[in-house]
Amino acid sequence: MSGVTWRVTEVVFDAASQHAGESLFALGNGYLGTRGSFEEGFPGDWPATFIHGVYDDVPIGHTELANVSNWLPFDLYVEGEHFSLDSGEVLNYQRELVLRQGLLSRTLRWRSPAGRTVDIAVERFVSLADAHLCAIRYQVVPLDFDGQIEWRAGLNGHVENRGVLHWDRLGQGAQSGIVWLRSRTRGTGIELGQAGRLKVTGAEDVTHFCLDCDGQPVAAARARAREGRAIVAEKTVAIFTSRETPDPCAAAIEKLQNLRGGYNDLRTAHLAEWEKYWAVSDAIIEGDDEVQRAVRFGLFHLLAAAPWEDKHVSLGPKALSGFAYRGHVFWDTEVFMLPFFTLTQPGLARNLLMYRYHTLPGARRKAAANGFAGAQYAWESADTGDEVTPTWVPRQNQRDPVRIWTGDLELHISSDVAFAVWQYWQATGDDSFMADYGAEIILDTAVFWSSRVEWNAEKSHYEITNVVGPDEYHDRINNNAFTNDLVRWHMETAQQVWRWLEQKHPARAAELADRLKLQTQTLARWAEVATRLCLPVDPSTGLLEQFEGYFHRRDVNLAEYEPRTVSMQALLGIEEVGKTQILKQPDVLMLFFMLRDRYDQCSLRANWDYYVPRTDHTYGSSLGPPVHALLACEIGEPEAAYRHFCRAAQADLGDVRGNTGDGIHAASAGGLWQAVVFGFGGLRLTPEGWSATPRPPAHWQRLAFRFYYRGKLEEVDWRRETQSK
Ligand code: BGC
């Protein structure tokens, strides 16, 4: 069985942290994700299942992944007494997620208010072998009585997204032991079909029956249980939406009717699929169990949520584990999570990039609406690619709402996407993707930039004014070094891609030239923008000014605010923090994270020394710590690297920001992998090949990982004992 580093275990249930637990113990299979709420519920819980692409309209945030009918309900009655953690007495308890297997289990001993004691063991999974199937196995052993056990396994249509109701219920029913529920999203008209059934074994006299509660069909069973003898109930649920099939409810019922075998067969198939993922995607760290577990925890959630069939969806900052950010897609995916997929599961990376290809029409609409040419990706994107960032949001305990500028001004997303396409192509050599899809993304976003940059005649350079960089503590700023230099990279890369396309795929080049209106002058213009785009840099040190005027903002010694438990923005207020040099997350340093080979060590040192002390590491963005960990490896500061790394590793398992309940931090998980592989592993990919110069922390005994480079599976396996020989 899997060892401690493959397990996330909870030995005491604390109601105060139940929401964090629901996120930590979430399961997923690339089609849907289900929070780790209890089968029997608990007061104040936030059970949720999200299905990729099932968006519905919502005020302020435009659209969100709609929490679908709850497939978990599985209630146990012991001689008529309902089992729940808030009644009777819990004599022992353990909840465990086995990351290697995608299995969530709970074992506990419970004494009912009337004094009957049972051992309970519940295990569930959402099948990685068949994305439309979920299953729960529920075992009960009466310890001090013979008596009646009853289970009610339901589908609950009474669900909400924190107060927002998305579903019209269209019907429910029962046929030959299968209960079903049909519903439809109110705004987008997506139909959902669920079917469930219950099977009891281990008891002689079992009665199966169905209950038809409003919006909540239930498959139930009653049995006589004997002291010391286990009886087991298995619940199997099938789920489809009209995104896959015209009659999802019929498909769900049919799926269950045609199912051969029981829980164990489904489980075996499921485990085999997880093995395949881990065989390539695992990153092994020996000598540091905490960190090993955290890395695997993050990879588990990334793999659990990554769409392996659907090329029209992508991953949000919370993957499929929570309500926050409404399932919108940010740069988190391309810059933080994608490299893990590109290198270990290139097929998944391709799907995620195809989402960006399919949402080009939305990006073109956004550019046109703003008066620009080409494609401008939405800062927050959902099903269509149109901008879905809220413009104003209510401010806690205050009358006036806050203006959110990121949707209007956080422009670097267009180049982040282009960068990810380029990185995928470089690592995989997937020329057909590049020719058919990737090139169009890089080129049309270059067209956007070419129309967006502004010529400053006085200074005789191009500039980009009125933007937001990665550090969102500062908005409406001019010439953000990160944005400008990334655009410079973009303009250069677009020329390269264009030449490649003309040479290798002339027909496609001609077609794109026609459609995107690319002419000889276009290339010349890109070259000119690349050379004459301003970049505020001190030539003697390489220190970049984060944006024009940044160095004149108030300098603050962050140490003076310690100890604290909230972000500097929460402490000083939105307006005040903007007047200082405090950073929410790496901004200039993101250039060194993404475009490491374009800068030398001296300039990394100058920028590291300046910006790291001014960053709100613990309570700013969770995207920051893995970036700092990786760069500290580059700069040769192993202790700092490990410190930042542990901060990233604790993002969810330690609930550092107190918001894990809203969903896990998927970008941090992807960043953590990058810190392991590119940081401590020292992996470098160049067009000529790859190299690795591992530089792990002193107490690590082994660091090993696999990755695909140009279609070939490669391996780095560093062991301390072989080093010291
Ligand atoms: C960060 C962004 C990030 C977003 C979603 C924000 O707090 O500043 O960089 O994209 O969260 O994770």
Using one digit for the tens of pLDDT, what is the confidence trace for 359-383?
999 999 999 999 999 999 999 999 9
Instruction: Kindly give the distance from the C-alpha atom of residue 473 to the centroid of ligand 1, in angstroms, as a whole number.
Output: 11
Give me the residue label for tokens 């505020």: 536
* Residue 27 near residue 33 (C-beta atoms within 8 A): yes
Say what the pLDDT of residue 398 is. Answer: 77
Report the nearest atom of ligand 1 relative to the CA of 325: 5
Find, among 642, 671, 471, the residue nearest to 568 by Cα.
471
The CA 73 to ligand 1 mean position distance, Å, reads 34
- CA-nearest of 270, 299, 271 to 285 is 299
Q: Is 214 exposed, middle or buried (0-12, 13-18, 19+ CB in 10 A)?
A: exposed
Q: Name the active-site residue from 22, 234, 472, 545.
A: 472
539 by Cβ neighbours in 10 Å (0-12 / 13-18 / 19+) ranks as exposed
Per-residue model confidence as pLDDT tens digits over 593-622: 999 999 999 999 999 999 999 999 999 999
The pTM assigned to this predicted structure is 0.98
CA distances from 605 to 66, 441, 614 (A): 46, 34, 15
Backbone dihedral region of 21: left (phi > 0), alpha (psi from -120 to 50 degrees) or beta?
Answer: alpha
Q: Which amino acid is at 569?
A: Q
| 332 CA closest ligand 1 atom index | 10
Q: Is the peptide bond before 217 cis (omega within 30 degrees of 0)?
A: no
Count of Cβ atoms closer than 10 Å to residue 561 Cβ: 14
Q: What domains, with CATH codes, occur in the chain?
A: 3-277 (2.70.98.40), 286-322+619-725 (no CATH)
* Choice from 623, 656, 665 to test ligand 1 binding pocket (greatest atom count within 8 A of CB): 623
What is the pLDDT at residue 671?
98
> In the structure encoding, which two tokens stand for residue 674, read together?
């990058």
Q: What pLDDT score does 724 carry?
A: 61
How many C-beta atoms lie closer than 10 Å to residue 703's C-beta?
A: 26
The two structure tokens encoding residue 573 = 């207020």
Mutational pocket test of ligand 1: of 337, 338, 389, 472, the residue with most ligand atoms within 8 Å of the beta carbon: 472
Question: Which atom from ligand 1 is nearest to the alpha carbon of 317?
Answer: 12
CB atoms within 10 A of CB 463: 18
pLDDT digits (tens, 9 = 90+) for 225-267: 999 999 999 999 999 999 999 999 999 999 999 999 999 999 9
170, 229 Cβ separation under 8 angstroms: no
How many CA atoms within 13 Å lie on the side-chain side of 319? 38
Closest CA to 446 of 424, 423, 422: 422
Q: Output the CA 330–ligand 1 centroid distance in Å.
A: 8
Distance from the alpha carbon of residue 592 to the mean position of ligand 1, in angstroms: 19
Please tell me the distance from the alpha carbon of residue 460 to that of residue 454, in angstroms, as a whole number: 11
Q: Which atom of ligand 1 is nearest to the CA of 471?
A: 8
- Please name the residue whose Cα sits nearest to atom 9 of ligand 1: 470
Residues with CB under 6 A from ligand 1: 317, 325, 330-332, 470, 472, 584-585, 621, 623, 667
Residue 415, CA distances (Å) to 86, 179, 344 in order: 51, 49, 23
- Residue whose CA is at the smallest distance from ligand 1 atom 3: 332
- Look at ligand 1, atom 7, and give the residue with the nearest C-alpha: 621
pLDDT at 725: 53
Is 275 noted as a catalytic residue in this protein?
no
Helices (H) and strands (E) in the chain, counts: 23, 28
Q: Are 117 and 215 in contact (CB under 8 A)?
A: no
Distance from residue 666's CA to the centre of ligand 1 (Å):
11
Q: Which atom of ligand 1 is nearest to the CA of 665?
A: 12
710 C-alpha vs ligand 1 centroid, how far in Å? Answer: 31
Specify whether the CB–CB gap between 110 and 82 falls below 8 A. Answer: no
Please name the residue whose Cα sits nearest to atom 12 of ligand 1: 317
How far apart are the CA of 621 and the centre of ligand 1, in A?
6
508: CB partners within 8 A, 6+ apart: 435, 436, 439, 501
β-partners of residue 620 are none
Which residue has the CA at smallest separation from atom 11 of ligand 1?
Answer: 621
Query: Which is nearest to 672 in space by CA: 300, 399, 165?
Result: 300
Element (H, E) at 183: strand 178-185
Low-confidence ranges of the chain (pLDDT < 50): 1
Give the distance (Å) from ligand 1 centre to CA of residue 78.
47
135 touches 125 (CB < 8 A): yes
- Residue minimizing CA distance to atom 5 of ligand 1: 317
> Which residues are CB-neighbours of 180 under 8 A, at least 6 positions away?
155, 172, 173, 174, 193, 194, 195, 196, 217, 249, 252, 253
Distance 585 CA to ligand 1 centre (A): 9
* Total residues belonging to the chain: 725
First-to-final CA distance of the chain: 33
- Dihedral of CA atoms 492, 497, 498, 504 in degrees, nearest 10, equals 150
Cα(412) to centroid of ligand 1, in Å?
Answer: 13
Choose among 205, 268, 259: nearest CA to 235: 259
Give the residue, by CA position, lying nearest to ligand 1 atom 6. 621
- At 280 the pLDDT is 98
